[in-house]
Amino acid sequence: MKPQIEQIESWARYAGKMAIEMRKEDLKVEYKNQADLVTRADKAIEAYLLAQLEENFPSHTALAEETGMHKKDSAHKWYIDPIDGTLNYAHGLPEYSISIAYAYEGELQVGVVYCPEMDELFSAVKGQGAWLNGEPIRVSRIDKLTDALLITGFRHALLDTPRTNIDNFIHFSRKAQTVRRLGSAALDLAYVAAGRAEGFWEIALNPWDVAAGILLVREAGGIVEGLFGEADLLTGSVDILSANPAIFPQMRKVLEEVRKLKASNIQTL
């Protein structure tokens, strides 16, 4: 049986209710490291979603942030981030989401990103389109980088390393209209899909952060690739670039310029 979008949407909505309810009590925050948290809600929502998969699709593989890989060797694979933007969630900021994606033989088929605090449910089905609360969405038509609102994020552990994203941030801040850092990669991608942002890039994400968002952007007419063209965005550490078709090549050019400056040890800031 093929997963139906309505079913995944209803799991995401239920998970969203769990997130809102659980914030009213002690979240039992634990630290994976200084900027990487996990709460009681992350664990409970992940357990709920995995239980739905076990009940409905017992032979499918799932990759979930808090518990890793479940059941290897299936052509059917799920990517689950129970709360994307846990740090925002723990502080009471509304910018967090539940992200669920389903892929068949490595091809994303269905993606759902739900922001419970704003009751915004973004969904996409391969070949059929992308929607926000049931209404079709498209990437924006803005075509000049100087008019573009971009979004990014920073992995804390990379800040003082050669892979830091700070140099890119500075260059894009000069060349675009503005750059935002919102704190949920899944929602960042959903906003590109919905035409609220023209582009998004980030370094060292995980497949569960981006799987649903990738399908959203592609189904909404946007482009998603690795930062420098890498094709596999569903394995290991993911460096990602996503934008509407006009802004995408302009962003790639800036990223390449910064990469060259770094390689030649020229001061980039």
Site string for Ca ion, 43-82 (x = CB under 5 A): ----------------------x---------------x-
The option from Ca ion, ligand IPD, none interacting with 239 (CB < 5 to 8 A, set by class) reads none
Least Å distance between CB 54 and Ca ion? Answer: 20
DSSP character string of 77-132: EEEEEEEETHHHHHHT-S--EEEEEEEETTEEEEEEEEEGGGTEEEEEETTTEEEE
Exactly one of 108, 148, 185, 224 binds ligand IPD (CB under 6 A); that residue is 185
Distance CA 243, CA 250 (A): 10
CA distance 10 to 112: 10
Closest C-alpha to 5, from 212, 234, 242: 212
Minimum CB separation of residue 188 from ligand IPD in Å reads: 7
How many chain residues touch Ca ion (CB under 5 A)?
5
* C-alpha–C-alpha distance, residues 205 and 267, integer Å: 26
| Tokens standing for residue 68 | 């890793």
Measured CA to CA, the distance from residue 77 to residue 86 in angstroms comes to 23
For ligand IPD, give the closer residue by CB, 182 or 251.
Answer: 182
Q: Which residues contact 137 (CB under 8 A, 6 or more apart)?
A: 122, 130, 131, 193, 194, 195, 216, 220
Q: Is 81 in the site for ligand IPD (CB under 6 A)?
A: yes
Residue 85 binds: one of Ca ion, ligand IPD, none (C-beta under 5 to 8 A by kind): ligand IPD
Give CA separation, 13 vs 16, 60, 111, 120, in Å: 5, 22, 14, 10
State which residue, 239 or 246, has the beta carbon closest to ligand IPD.
239
Q: Is 40 in the site for ligand IPD (CB under 6 A)?
A: no
Find which of ligand IPD, Ca ion, none residue 9 binds, CB within 5 to 8 Å per kind: none
Instruction: Based on the shown chain and the rule CB under 6 A, indicate whether residue 100 belongs to the binding site for ligand IPD.
Output: no
Which residue's CB is nearer to Ca ion, number 83 or number 142? 83
Residue 149 identity:
L
Residue choice 9, 66, 84, 198 for contact with ligand IPD (CB under 6 A): 84
Q: Is 209 in the site for Ca ion (CB under 5 A)?
A: yes
Taking residue 263's Cβ as centre, other Cβ atoms within 10 Å add up to: 9
By CB under 6 A, residue 242 contacts ligand IPD? no
111, 183, 207, 222: which one contacts ligand IPD (CB under 6 A)? 183
Binding-site size for ligand IPD (CB under 6 A) equals 15
Cα angle value 154/156/160 (rounded, 5°)? 100
Query: Applying CB under 5 A, which residues contact Ca ion?
Result: 65, 81, 83-84, 209
Query: Applying CB under 6 A, which residues contact ligand IPD?
Result: 36, 65, 81, 84-87, 153, 155, 183-185, 202, 205, 209
